[in-house]
């Protein structure tokens, strides 16, 4: 997609806001390529523009800054010992250009899509024309959805910008959602039912559009207090569930299978941002860090190679060597372990903790001994971080090093606690196929899974007052969570029975807890809490020290549940009314 990305950027240039910042020499640039906006009138040009948009999304999903923004400052996570992006975790000293890349990249792509929609009507093949333009409608709605839930009111551009301007304004939220819903409604019938040429892999399909259409209704219902939207959202999600076979989507039997690299393009995946090691289509660089790489495999990983054999003493030798299997430790984001223990309290019947987190590191370095014995490579566990205290006897006999949650370390205990650099590692994004230990991942970033349809449907039914169907939706997810391939049939049956919930248990906090159990650290949590108007409340409940202390200082209250409009963009509006900033910034 690299070449298509160039095509997209040459044609689209930028939005009116970005164009307004151009230097004189840029504005007077002479076109030195045969590619112009009229290229969008051909099928090849349209495919190039759409593929270019897919390519530029790599500049957001999977990158360090963006990952911090959607995982930081929530109930699930805390800043890692080598964390970056501290302001988004602490809500202190948030820069007014903190979210500039999200804003600029989104509007660059929206302008490309507007060009596709304006000129692509000239495509002569009616099937191609419908399906290709539906891709553009979906992507425009996808981008506006994330803009409105992140920033609130934003400029609404639906025509192709060819001339720079110094005037712009933020549209009402109702108008933005109306455009999103219009685009997605049309895309949900005009897109291909299943992935097919020329948009293979997991580009948008009718199922993807229905997923985001239901999500748009749900978000609008919350944002504008429109009760009817919750009923419509539930019906939209139910349509997708009822027709899942026609769309080729479903749940895997085993929760863990959803995160196997071989299943990245499988039936549970609704939408991805592709990566590739092919130099023609990707931006992969061996040992690449920063930039537009998929680095999800490194952000959530503890610094396991520095844990020494005499821990907690500073003497001793490192027990582990950094390798591909255990990954490159960036130590950026760690689980909020007290919260993690609470939501994963049932680890007997619910398999999702063990299938989400790595808690053991098998010895991979020869000649290492601890005070409790020599470690055998490939056999002994060098590091164990259980979510419970195995007891003094086990700690005394275990040859490796054990660390446990800090809240379980009692006064006078010899137990070692998790730290900001040593903690259970998220393993959903592991990429065992990387060539070198420091290489970025070429797995696609999975943006949406079919499991989320049930979770969102439960939320919609709950808001519509239908607790029975809300429980039914959650029980589908919880039934799958109970499955363990190592269980007997009788054991799985018993676990499923134990996992079922009834209407009396359904409330918003239960739904949000269930979202954590299913989607922990999958880069949706900040948006989930913002959508449900729960961010400040959940921070106060579960992240009072790191997150809530800064969040509580927002004026007016809860102002930090919107991100600041980038100051760089505001300063470009020099004609007409000044573009206003969000409250509290």
Separation CA 418–CA 407 (nearest Å)? 10
pLDDT of 32 higher than 50: no
Contact 73, 67 (CB under 8 A): no
How many residues can be counted in the chain? 585
Q: If you average pLDDT over residues 235-261, what whole number do you get?
A: 98
3-class secondary structure, 180: helix
262 contact partners, CB below 8 Å, separation of at least 6: none
Q: Kindly report the CA angle at 345 between 341 and 347, in degrees rounded to 5? A: 115
Helix axes 43-56, 126-151, angle to 10 degrees: 20
pLDDT value at residue 283: 77
Separation CA 458–CA 380 (nearest Å)? 43
pLDDT value at residue 289: 79
pLDDT value at residue 325: 96
Give DSSP secondary structure letters for 228-241.
HHHHHHHHHHHHHH
pLDDT of 194 higher than 70: yes
Look over the chain and give the mean of its residue pLDDT values, rounded to a whole number.
92
Of all helices (H) and strands (E), which one includes residue 374?
strand 373-374
Give DSSP secondary structure letters for 24-63.
HHHHTPPP-SS--GGGGGSHHHHHHHHHHHHHHGGGTTTS
pLDDT value at residue 286: 87
pLDDT value at residue 126: 96
Phi/psi for 318 (5° steps) reads -65, 130
pLDDT value at residue 279: 67
Contact 188, 213 (CB under 8 A): yes
- Six-digit token string for 231: 């009923």
Q: If you average pLDDT over residues 116-125, what whole number do you get?
A: 96
397 contact partners, CB below 8 Å, separation of at least 6: 372
504 contact partners, CB below 8 Å, separation of at least 6: none
Q: What is the pLDDT of residues 373-398, one digit of tens each?
A: 999 999 999 999 999 999 999 999 99
Least confident of 10-14, 101-105, 515-519, 531-535: 10-14
Contact 216, 204 (CB under 8 A): no
Q: What is the pLDDT of residues 198-245, one digit of tens each?
A: 887 889 999 999 999 999 999 999 999 999 999 999 999 999 999 999
Q: What is the pLDDT of residues 65-95, one digit of tens each?
A: 999 999 999 999 999 999 999 999 999 999 9
Instruction: Report the percentage of the chain scoring pLDDT > 70.
Output: 93
Contact 337, 344 (CB under 8 A): no
pLDDT value at residue 37: 74
pLDDT of 269 higher than 60: yes
pLDDT value at residue 8: 36
**C-alpha 42, offset from chain centre:** 34
Q: If you average pLDDT over residues 273-294, what whole number do you get?
A: 81
pTM, full prediction: 0.93
pLDDT of 97 higher than 80: yes
């Amino acid at each position: 997609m690299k070449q298509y990305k160039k095509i997209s950027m040459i044609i689209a240039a930028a939005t009116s806001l970005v164009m307004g910042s151009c230097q004189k020499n840029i504005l007077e640039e002479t076109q030195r390529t045969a590619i112009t906006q009229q290229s969008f009138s051909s099928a090849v040009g349209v495919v190039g523009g759409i593929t270019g948009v897919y390519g530029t999304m790599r500049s957001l999903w999977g990158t360090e800054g963006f990952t911090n923004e959607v995982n930081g400052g929530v109930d699930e996570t805390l800043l890692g010992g080598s964390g970056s992006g501290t302001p988004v975790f602490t809500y202190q000293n948030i820069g007014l250009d903190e979210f500039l890349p999200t804003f600029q990249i989104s509007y660059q792509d929206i302008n490309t899509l507007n060009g596709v929609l304006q000129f692509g009507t000239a495509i002569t093949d009616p099937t191609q024309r419908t399906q290709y333009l539906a891709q553009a409608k979906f992507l425009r709605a996808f981008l506006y959805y994330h803009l409105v839930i992140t920033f609130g009111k934003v400029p609404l551009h639906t025509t192709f910008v060819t001339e720079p301007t110094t005037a712009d304004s933020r549209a009402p939220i109702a108008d933005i959602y109306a455009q999103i819903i219009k685009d997605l409604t049309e895309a949900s019938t005009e897109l291909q039912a299943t992935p097919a040429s020329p948009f293979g892999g997991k580009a948008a399909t009718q199922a993807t559009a229905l997923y985001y259409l239901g999500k748009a209704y749900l978000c609008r219902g919350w944002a504008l207090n429109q009760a009817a939207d919750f009923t419509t959202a539930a019906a939209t999600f139910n349509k997708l569930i009822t027709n899942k076979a026609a769309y080729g989507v479903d749940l895997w039997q085993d929760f863990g299978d959803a995160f196997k690299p071989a299943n990245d393009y499988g039936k549970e995946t609704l939408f991805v941002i592709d990566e590739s090691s092919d130099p023609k289509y990707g931006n992969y660089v061996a040992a690449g860090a920063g930039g537009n790489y998929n680095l999800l495999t490194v952000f959530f990983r503890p610094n396991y190679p520095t844990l020494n054999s005499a821990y907690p003493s500073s003497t001793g030798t490192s027990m582990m060597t950094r390798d591909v299997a255990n990954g490159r430790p960036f130590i950026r984001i760690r689980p909020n372990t007290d919260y993690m223990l609470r939501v994963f309290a049932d680890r007997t019947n619910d398999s999702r903790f063990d299938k989400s987190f790595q808690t053991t590191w098998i010895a991979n370095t020869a000649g290492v001994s601890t005070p409790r014995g020599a470690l055998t490579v490939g056999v002994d566990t060098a590091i164990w971080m259980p979510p419970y205290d195995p007891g003094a006897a086990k700690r005394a006999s275990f040859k490796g090093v054990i660390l446990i949650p800090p809240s379980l370390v009692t006064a006078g205990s010899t137990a070692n606690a998790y730290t900001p650099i040593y903690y259970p590692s998220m393993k959903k994004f592991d990429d065992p196929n990387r060539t070198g230990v420091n290489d970025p991942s070429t797995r696609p970033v999975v943006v949406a899974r079919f499991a989320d349809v049930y979770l969102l449907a439960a939320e919609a039914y709950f808001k519509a007052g239908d607790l029975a169907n809300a429980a039914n939706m959650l029980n589908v997810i919880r039934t799958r969570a109970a499955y363990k391939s190592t269980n007997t049939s009788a054991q799985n049956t018993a676990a499923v029975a134990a996992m079922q919930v009834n209407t009396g248990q359904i409330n918003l906090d239960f739904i949000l807890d269930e979202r954590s159990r299913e989607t922990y650290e999958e880069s949706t949590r900040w948006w989930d809490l913002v959508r449900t108007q729960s961010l400040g409340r959940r921070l106060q409940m579960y992240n009072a020290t790191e997150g809530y202390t800064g969040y509580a200082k927002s004026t007016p209250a809860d102002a930090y549940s919107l991100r600041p409009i980038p100051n760089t963009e505001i300063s470009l509006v020099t004609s007409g009314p000044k573009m206003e900033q969000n409250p509290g910034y």
